[in-house]
Amino acid sequence: LVKIMSKSGKYKYAANDNDNYAFSDRFIRIFSECILSVEHANNLIVIKTLSGSANAATEALDSMNMPEIMGTLAGDNTILIIAKNEKDVGVILKKINDIKRR
Protein backbone atom coordinates (compact mmCIF):
# COMPACT_ATOMS: atom_id res chain seq x y z
CA LEU A 1 0.00 0.00 0.00
CA VAL A 2 1.08 3.54 -0.71
CA LYS A 3 -0.29 6.91 0.38
CA ILE A 4 -1.52 8.99 -2.56
CA MET A 5 -3.51 12.17 -3.10
CA SER A 6 -7.00 11.59 -4.46
CA LYS A 7 -8.67 13.76 -7.09
CA SER A 8 -10.48 15.60 -4.30
CA GLY A 9 -7.14 16.63 -2.79
CA LYS A 10 -7.39 14.32 0.23
CA TYR A 11 -4.95 11.53 1.00
CA LYS A 12 -5.87 7.87 0.71
CA TYR A 13 -4.13 4.51 0.66
CA ALA A 14 -4.05 2.50 -2.54
CA ALA A 15 -2.39 -0.58 -3.98
CA ASN A 16 0.70 0.27 -6.02
CA ASP A 17 0.21 -1.13 -9.51
CA ASN A 18 1.29 -0.05 -12.98
CA ASP A 19 -2.07 1.53 -13.79
CA ASN A 20 -1.91 3.68 -10.66
CA TYR A 21 1.12 5.95 -10.84
CA ALA A 22 1.27 6.49 -7.10
CA PHE A 23 4.22 8.33 -5.65
CA SER A 24 5.12 10.31 -2.58
CA ASP A 25 4.45 13.98 -1.94
CA ARG A 26 8.17 14.59 -1.75
CA PHE A 27 8.71 13.35 -5.30
CA ILE A 28 5.71 15.36 -6.51
CA ARG A 29 7.13 18.52 -4.92
CA ILE A 30 10.65 17.94 -6.28
CA PHE A 31 9.41 17.24 -9.77
CA SER A 32 6.81 20.02 -10.01
CA GLU A 33 9.03 22.74 -8.51
CA CYS A 34 11.94 22.01 -10.87
CA ILE A 35 10.08 22.05 -14.20
CA LEU A 36 10.46 25.16 -16.37
CA SER A 37 9.16 23.87 -19.72
CA VAL A 38 8.02 20.70 -21.48
CA GLU A 39 8.26 20.04 -25.24
CA HIS A 40 7.88 16.93 -27.35
CA ALA A 41 8.59 15.55 -30.82
CA ASN A 42 7.70 12.07 -32.03
CA ASN A 43 8.30 9.72 -29.07
CA LEU A 44 10.67 12.10 -27.24
CA ILE A 45 9.84 14.55 -24.45
CA VAL A 46 12.33 17.22 -23.34
CA ILE A 47 11.85 18.88 -19.97
CA LYS A 48 13.89 21.95 -19.02
CA THR A 49 14.48 22.31 -15.28
CA LEU A 50 16.14 24.71 -12.89
CA SER A 51 19.92 24.55 -13.20
CA GLY A 52 21.33 21.56 -11.34
CA SER A 53 17.98 19.93 -10.62
CA ALA A 54 17.44 17.61 -13.59
CA ASN A 55 18.96 14.59 -11.83
CA ALA A 56 16.67 14.95 -8.80
CA ALA A 57 13.63 15.55 -11.02
CA THR A 58 14.51 12.51 -13.14
CA GLU A 59 14.87 10.33 -10.03
CA ALA A 60 11.42 11.51 -8.96
CA LEU A 61 10.06 10.78 -12.45
CA ASP A 62 11.62 7.31 -12.50
CA SER A 63 10.09 6.52 -9.10
CA MET A 64 6.64 7.03 -10.61
CA ASN A 65 7.07 3.80 -12.61
CA MET A 66 5.11 4.99 -15.63
CA PRO A 67 4.78 1.98 -17.95
CA GLU A 68 4.69 4.29 -20.98
CA ILE A 69 8.29 5.41 -20.41
CA MET A 70 11.05 3.34 -21.99
CA GLY A 71 13.82 5.36 -20.36
CA THR A 72 15.05 8.72 -19.12
CA LEU A 73 18.31 10.66 -19.29
CA ALA A 74 19.28 13.66 -17.17
CA GLY A 75 21.76 16.44 -17.71
CA ASP A 76 22.28 19.49 -15.53
CA ASN A 77 19.06 21.25 -16.50
CA THR A 78 17.48 18.95 -19.09
CA ILE A 79 15.56 15.68 -18.92
CA LEU A 80 15.03 13.47 -21.97
CA ILE A 81 12.12 11.05 -21.73
CA ILE A 82 11.89 8.30 -24.33
CA ALA A 83 8.33 7.04 -24.67
CA LYS A 84 7.66 3.49 -25.86
CA ASN A 85 5.72 4.92 -28.81
CA GLU A 86 4.21 8.19 -30.03
CA LYS A 87 0.77 7.32 -28.61
CA ASP A 88 2.26 7.11 -25.11
CA VAL A 89 3.57 10.69 -25.31
CA GLY A 90 0.07 12.09 -24.71
CA VAL A 91 -0.41 9.87 -21.67
CA ILE A 92 2.96 10.91 -20.21
CA LEU A 93 2.29 14.61 -20.86
CA LYS A 94 -1.10 14.34 -19.13
CA LYS A 95 0.52 12.76 -16.07
CA ILE A 96 3.22 15.47 -16.01
CA ASN A 97 0.57 18.21 -16.27
CA ASP A 98 -1.46 16.58 -13.48
CA ILE A 99 1.63 16.67 -11.26
CA LYS A 100 2.37 20.31 -12.10
CA ARG A 101 -1.19 21.32 -11.12
CA ARG A 102 -1.00 19.79 -7.63
Q: What is the CATH number of the domain that holds 56?
A: 3.30.1360.40
Task: Flag whether 14 is in a domain.
Answer: no
Confidence of residue 37 (pLDDT cuts 50, 70, 90): very high
pLDDT, one tens digit per residue, over 66-97 is 999 999 999 999 999 999 999 999 999 999 99
Number of domains in the chain: 1
Please give the residue range of the domain that contains residue 45: 29-101
* Residues 6 or more apart whose Cβ sits within 8 Å of residue 48: 35, 36, 37, 38, 77, 78
Q: Give pLDDT, residue 22.
A: 47
Percent of the chain with pLDDT over 70: 82
Residues 84 and 69: beta-carbon distance below 8 Å: yes
Task: Flag whether 6 is in a domain.
Answer: no
pTM (predicted TM-score)? 0.74
